[in-house]
């Protein structure tokens, strides 16, 4: 059985993808259980000694100065979850919820939160038994972490709220009974540990990041096919040009383009033409795609760090017999990374849409208008480009950074917030739009190849062309293009085309 073992230190992006999308089960490393037990003893001693510690025996936020008696601690934790479950909007998709459950269990495994091992194990059991808490997507400002959405996640552990099991929406209590789980009773500090943290925004961020990484490679493939179809030159991709500037990602993209276009009969057919330069959207692919890759790598560095971060408050340093209140729950690193990621991916879509327009314009391509075999009676890809234009314009609005926004909450106790969850949600929206745009460029590029007198495209381009044609036939006359667009989006999301190309020419 496929299984991911969590210890609070070594979770990877691929682990999250495996649990979120591939249905891998999860287990907790023995060392993590030991760390949680030691941390929990510190909390129990604080309660036994009557020592006043924020989040253990006090109120929360602006009410942190209110002391809570030991016989009210269970009620305090329950009330915290109930009062914070104020989310609204559409439900978070099941794979992202599974990722959030994994991330929350993993951070508890670090042993800084003071929770019993049973809490992390309960989260793991919900993953393994396919209990998906119903979490509204909106309501977090990303400051004390994702308070509202994580409260909805935690409700189900208590037999409250709602969850989906095998596609059926059930009450929290019914969901647990279906999964043969008993509701848990939260002890001191445990409700706060579940609600504090960046796990919802990070789950969205992982989804956006992994798809962006795949999309960056696909953009190179789409760009190569378009350049070939437009009878463009590969001279602009010469390695000497790239090294003269010095950006490693630019050098890599140019290397990819050369590999994709290698041995192209289409390129060879116009080697001695009079054309000197191509439009920027073709000529500057290494510069633009390279810059996007650089930004995506920055986002990856932040997000992979956050996978194994302690984002609770306060943190228990049991080795030092100390409890420290800080601000690791603040989502600013993730917020800034997601805004950067969105901008990078939007640029991949922007330049893709410009290449698509050049394919459809007979003045630029020398091909039939809109790549229709009988233009006039057929409209070809005319409105597909309009769809792409609409999506890139929508992305420009979505790329307004959430991370520069803040609004005071909790009677000014939480006076500067990150808006990280919104940044992550809209970054994923940008990625989804860009997947469609680049997918449409691929459709048009493959159609354009049909008009190039049966000449073979480059080594990598030919593999991509074959992968597309395996699922989507050549357009001989107008048909319902939504079907083609839906299919290419599916291929893009599953990374089918990139995997096919990389299996032959190597990693892009």
**Is residue 421 a contact partner of residue 204, using CB atoms and an 8 Å limit?**
yes
Residue 393, C-beta contacts closer than 8 angstroms, at least 6 positions apart:
none
| CA-wise closest residue to 436 among 485, 500, 473, 499 | 485
Print burial letters for 129-156: b (CB count within 10 Å at least 16), e (below 16). Answer: ebbbbbbbbebbbbbbbbbbbbbbbbbb
Q: How far, in Å, CA of 282 to CA of 301, rounded?
A: 29
Give the phi and the psi of residue 132 in degrees, each rounded to 5: -110, 100
Q: How far, in Å, CA of 302 to CA of 338, rounded?
A: 9
Give the phi and the psi of residue 392 in degrees, each rounded to 5: -70, -30
495: left (phi over 0), alpha (psi -120 to 50) or beta: left
Q: How far, in Å, CA of 406 to CA of 47, rounded?
A: 36
Q: Where are the beta strands (DSSP E) in 199-344?
A: 315-317, 322-324
Residue with tokens 């106790």: 413
Among the residues of 407-495, which ranges form H helices? 420-449, 459-469, 481-493
- Is 54 a catalytic site residue? yes
**Residue 200: Cβ within 10 Å count:** 34
Interhelix angle 147-157/199-229, rounded to 10 degrees, is 110
**Is residue 184 a contact partner of residue 153, using CB atoms and an 8 Å limit?**
no
**Which position among 54, 298, 381, 465 bears the catalytic label?**
54
Within 13 Å of residue 315, how many CA atoms lie on the same side as its CB? 18
Catalytic (active-site) positions: 54
């Amino acid at each position: 059985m496929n299984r991911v073992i969590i210890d609070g230190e070594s979770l990877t992006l691929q682990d999250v993808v495996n649990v979120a999308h591939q249905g891998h089960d999860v287990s907790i490393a023995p060392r993590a259980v030991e760390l949680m037990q030691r941390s929990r003893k510190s909390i129990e001693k604080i309660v036994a000694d009557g020592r006043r510690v924020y989040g253990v025996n006090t109120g929360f936020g602006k009410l942190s100065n209110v002391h809570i008696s030991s016989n009210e601690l269970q009620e305090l934790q329950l009330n915290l979850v109930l009062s914070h479950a104020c989310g609204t909007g559409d439900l978070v998709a099941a794979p992202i919820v599974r990722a959030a459950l994994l991330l929350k269990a993993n951070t508890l495994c670090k042993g800084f939160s003071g929770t019993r091992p049973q809490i992390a194990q309960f989260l793991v059991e919900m993953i393994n038994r396919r209990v998906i808490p119903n979490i509204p997507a909106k309501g977090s400002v990303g400051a004390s972490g994702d308070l509202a959405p994580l409260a909805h996640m935690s409700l189900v552990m208590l037999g409250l709220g709602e969850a989906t099991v095998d596609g059926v929406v059930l009450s929290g209590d019914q969901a647990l009974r279906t999964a043969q789980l008993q509701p848990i009773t939260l002890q001191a500090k445990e409700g706060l540990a579940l609600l504090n943290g960046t796990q919802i925004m990070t789950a969205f961020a992982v989804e956006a990041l992994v798809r962006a990484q795949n999309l960056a490679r696909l953009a190179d493939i789409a760009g190569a096919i378009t350049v070939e179809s437009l009878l463009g030159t590969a001279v602009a991709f010469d390695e000497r040009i790239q090294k003269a500037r010095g950006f490693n990602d630019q050098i890599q993209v140019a290397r990819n383009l050369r590999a994709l276009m290698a041995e192209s009969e289409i390129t060879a057919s116009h080697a001695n033409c009079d054309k000197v330069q191509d439009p920027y959207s073709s000529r500057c692919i290494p510069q633009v795609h390279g810059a996007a890759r650089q930004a995506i790598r920055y986002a990856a560095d932040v997000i992979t760090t956050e996978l194994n971060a302690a984002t609770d408050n306060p943190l228990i340093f049991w080795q030092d017999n100390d409890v420290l209140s800080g601000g690791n729950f603040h989502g600013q690193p993730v917020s800034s990374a997601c805004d950067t990621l969105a901008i990078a991916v939007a640029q991949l879509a922007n330049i893709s849409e410009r290449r698509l327009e050049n394919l459809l314009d007979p003045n630029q391509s020398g091909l039939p208008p809109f790549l229709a075999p009988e233009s006039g009676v057929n409209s070809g890809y005319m409105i597909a480009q309009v769809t792409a234009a609409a999506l890139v314009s929508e992305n420009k609005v979505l790329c307004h950074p959430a991370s520069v926004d803040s609004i005071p909450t909790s009677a000014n106790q939480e006076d500067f917030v990150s808006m990280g969850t919104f940044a992550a949600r809209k970054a994923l929206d940008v990625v989804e739009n860009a997947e469609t745009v680049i997918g449409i460029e691929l459709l048009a590029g493959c159609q354009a190849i049909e008009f190039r007198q049966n000449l073979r495209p480059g080594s990598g381009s030919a593999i991509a062309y074959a992968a597309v044609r395996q699922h989507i036939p050549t357009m001989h006359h107008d048909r319902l293009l939504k079907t083609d667009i839906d299919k290419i989006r599916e291929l893009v999301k599953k990374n089918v085309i990139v995997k096919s190309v990389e299996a032959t020419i190597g990693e892009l």
